[in-house]
Amino acid sequence: MPVALPRIELGDITPHNIKQLKVLNQVVFPVTYNDKFYKDVLDVGELAKLAFSIDIVVGAVCCRTDMQEGQRKLYIMTLGCLGPYRRCGVGKKLLDHVMKIAKDDGQYDAIFLHVQISNDEALQFYNKFGFKIIDTKQEYYKRIEPADATYLKEV
């Protein structure tokens, strides 16, 4: 008998729940984000969301808009979920939200992100959604090994 997947709801990141995002990021990611990251997340509106399962934060996505070489790009800074909720649709729901924003806006030239080169699970996840490796950035990360990152872009 198949396991029932939890119902996932997306919610805004606010000053009242920003600490939940910090805790989630500390558990999910090998890097530490500074206070400026969290301050900036509060200002991006729909580009940052928490994923809830029965009122428990189980995932999050945080993006920003970048201008590079005259192009407006949507950069996924973080997208992650707690281990027990992987392969339950949390990441898909978060990524679908981001991709819908980009499509509805109509002014983004690309969606891109960086993934640590050793994170095969994340690379496979993004590949399923049409992201391809464009480049490898040497020494992209500070204080973690491997320090290199793959640069992915939705194609």
Active site residues: 75, 114
CA distance 80 to 25: 8
| Structure-block tokens of residue 34 | 């500074």
CB 62 within 8 A of CB 45: no
How far lies 95's CA from each of 2, 88, 98, 104, 147, in Å? 24, 13, 5, 14, 25
Count CA atoms within 13 Å of residue 79 on its CB side.
Answer: 26
CB 95 within 8 A of CB 129: yes
Q: Is 143 left (phi over 0), alpha (psi -120 to 50) or beta?
A: left
